[in-house]
C-alpha cells in the first residue's frame, strides 16, 4: 500500500512540475523568434520584462467578437521595438 501511495505522489509531483512551465520572455529571444512564435501558435502569452506579460495574436480571428486587434511592439534581444503581432483590445477601435 505504501508503494502505491508513493508512486501516486511521485506521479503527481512530476505531472504538476511539467504543467508549471514558464512563459518565454521576449527580451531573451530575437525579434524573428518572437514573431515566429506568434505566427506558429496564433495566440500566445509572452513575458515582456520583469513580471509583465501579455497575450499576443497573429490576427483579429484570435480575438473575441467585441475586441479589435491593436498592433503590438515589444522589446526583443536584438531590437528595442519589435512588431510581434497584435493585442486584443476591448470595444470598437473608434470609441474613446
DSSP string, 24-93: PBGGGS-HHHHHHHHHHHSEEEEEEETTEEEEEESSGGGS-TTEEEEEEEE--SS-SSEEEEEEEEES-T
Its sign, for the CA torsion 78, 84, 90, 93, is positive
Average pLDDT, the chain: 85
pTM: 0.72
Give the pLDDT confidence score for residue 70 in this predicted structure. 96
Give the pLDDT confidence score for residue 12 in this predicted structure. 64
pLDDT 10s digits, 39-69: 999 999 999 988 999 999 999 999 999 999 9
Amino acid at each position: 500500500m505504501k508503494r502505491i501511495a508513493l508512486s501516486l505522489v511521485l506521479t503527481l509531483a512530476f505531472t504538476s512540475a511539467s504543467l508549471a512551465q514558464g512563459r518565454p520572455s521576449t527580451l531573451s529571444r530575437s525579434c524573428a523568434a518572437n514573431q515566429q512564435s506568434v505566427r506558429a501558435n496564433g495566440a500566445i502569452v509572452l513575458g515582456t520584462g520583469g513580471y509583465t506579460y501579455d497575450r499576443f495574436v497573429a490576427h483579429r480571428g484570435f480575438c473575441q467578437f467585441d475586441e479589435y486587434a491593436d498592433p503590438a511592439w515589444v522589446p526583443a534581444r536584438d531590437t528595442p521595438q519589435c512588431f510581434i503581432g497584435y493585442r486584443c483590445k476591448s470595444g470598437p477601435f473608434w470609441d474613446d
